[in-house]
């Protein structure tokens, strides 16, 4: 849109669904004459963007498109989701698939190296066996012809062993070069293979980007950090079972997240969700929903049924602070949550 955007008071976008009829008209659009529900909804999204004094860029439109859709009827949501699936941008998915393929390829090369090393060991063992048999034949005078054959075979095996040793060294060199390449790739990856979510590097990059957007447009965003309850982990004391529980939480986070949310593994089984255009009150509500979802997802360990529990730290994204300070604030929220008896989350503000 040309010209300067009008300054308007900001509102909580989570509550915009009930205000659809009070939104200002957008020049060039007549919502009443829209020919379909989707057209009406798309124009409503654009209207809300302008009302909130945000430029109607593709990213902002997509984010508001998701946020406002939560307040719509189930029928409309299904209709729109079916269309979105047809035009889904799979750039991140393609990147993740490439990362997984590279790691699988590296694992294959590592396997080849292992087989080659075993072959070299077997050749060394064969040489020792030949030496032993030669010594046994030397003790018998009637076996001179056999000794000649053994000596010839020994020389052949020695040559083969030497060739194999050189090839094994070459294979090791190729493996080391490949390892360096994979390490460089890993330094640029965005995906955590263990839990099927984004990784810490991608999370920190997105937080920094969001800080820049907040500084420019003055909206609210939040960060929540999630951890499997330490009390639960201490009571289980089974590393494999705990890992399965943490993976279950990762799947639940993906299930409850919105398309604009960033779900990532921060490290040591702690997850993060970057909630764009979400103030603290809305982040608290999201934490309540997440806690309820997890607590109602029981985990079976042998003949035991275990109720999953999490602790959540909530903080705001404030560009006045560094990315590290914002993350530490959310982690402090987890510590505060352990001190509370009635809720599984706590807000931590600097």
Fold of 193-347: Alpha-Beta Plaits (3.30.70)
Report the alpha-carbon distance of residue 128 to residue 105 in Å, rounded. Answer: 35
Q: Regarding predicted confidence, which is higher, 66 or 345?
A: 345
Tens digit of pLDDT for each residue in 152-173? 877 877 887 788 778 778 777 8
Q: What is the model's pLDDT at position 317?
A: 98
Instruction: Name the residue ranges covered by the structural domains of the chain.
Output: 13-86, 92-186, 193-347
Report the alpha-carbon distance of residue 76 to residue 154 in Å, rounded. Answer: 80
Does the pLDDT of residue 24 top 80, yes or no?
A: no
Q: What is the model's pLDDT at position 90?
A: 55
Q: What is the model's pLDDT at position 88?
A: 58
Q: What is the model's pLDDT at position 28?
A: 43
Tens digit of pLDDT for each residue in 248-266? 999 999 998 988 899 999 9
> Which tokens go with 133?
């048999």
Q: Regarding predicted confidence, which is higher, 138 or 252?
A: 252
Q: What is the pTM of this model?
A: 0.67
pLDDT band at 89; cut points 50, 70, 90: low
Question: Is 68 in contact with 74 (CB distance < 8 Å)?
Answer: no
Angle, in degrees to the nearest 10, between helices 58-69 and 37-51: 110
Report the alpha-carbon distance of residue 2 to residue 220 in Å, rounded. Answer: 25
Mean per-residue pLDDT over the chain, rounded: 81
User: How many other CB atoms are found less than 10 A from the CB of residue 330?
Assistant: 26
Share of the chain above pLDDT 70, in %: 84
Question: Residue 46: is it exposed, middle or buried by C-beta count within 10 angstroms (0-12/13-18/19+)?
Answer: buried
Mean pLDDT, residues 42-59: 89
User: How many other CB atoms are found less than 10 A from the CB of residue 240?
Assistant: 9
Does the pLDDT of residue 5 top 70, yes or no?
A: no
Q: What is the model's pLDDT at position 12?
A: 38
Antiparallel, parallel or unpaired: β 222-228 and 191-192: unpaired
Tens digit of pLDDT for each residue in 164-214? 778 778 777 877 877 777 777 777 788 998 999 999 999 999 999 999 999
């Amino acid at each position: 849109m040309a010209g300067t955007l009008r300054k308007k008071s900001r509102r909580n976008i989570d509550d915009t669904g009930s205000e659809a009829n009070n939104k200002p008209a957008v020049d060039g659009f007549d919502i009443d004459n829209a020919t379909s529900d989707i057209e009406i909804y798309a124009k409503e999204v654009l209207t809300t963007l302008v009302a909130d004094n945000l430029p109607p860029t593709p990213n902002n439109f997509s984010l508001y498109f998701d946020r406002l859709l939560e307040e719509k009827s189930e029928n409309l949501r299904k209709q729109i989701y079916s269309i979105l699936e047809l035009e889904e941008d799979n750039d991140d998915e393609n990147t993740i698939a490439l990362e997984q393929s590279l790691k699988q390829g590296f694992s294959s090369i590592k396997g080849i190296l292992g087989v080659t090393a075993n072959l070299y060991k077997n050749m060394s063992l064969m040489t020792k066996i030949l030496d032993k048999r030669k010594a046994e034949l030397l003790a018998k005078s009637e076996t001179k012809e056999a000794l000649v054959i053994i000596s010839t075979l020994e020389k052949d095996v020695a040559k083969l062993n030497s060739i194999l040793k050189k090839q094994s060294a070459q294979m090791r060199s190729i493996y080391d070069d490949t390892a360096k390449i994979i390490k460089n790739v890993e330094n640029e990856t965005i995906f955590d293979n263990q839990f099927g979510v984004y990784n810490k590097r991608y999370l920190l990059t997105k937080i920094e980007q969001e800080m820049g957007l907040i500084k420019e447009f003055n909206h609210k965003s939040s960060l929540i950090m999630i951890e499997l309850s330490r009390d639960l982990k201490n009571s289980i004391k089974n590393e494999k079972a705990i890992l399965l529980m943490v993976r279950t939480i990762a799947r639940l986070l993906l299930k409850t997240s919105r398309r604009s949310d960033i779900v990532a593994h921060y490290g040591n089984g702690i997850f993060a969700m970057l909630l764009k255009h979400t103030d603290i009150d809305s982040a608290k509500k999201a934490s309540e929903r997440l806690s309820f979802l997890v607590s109602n997802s029981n985990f079976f360990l042998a003949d035991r049924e275990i109720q999953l529990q999490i602790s959540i730290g909530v903080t705001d994204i404030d560009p006045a602070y560094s990315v590290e300070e914002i993350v530490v604030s959310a982690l402090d929220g987890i510590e505060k949550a352990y001190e509370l008896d009635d809720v599984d989350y706590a807000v931590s503000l600097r």
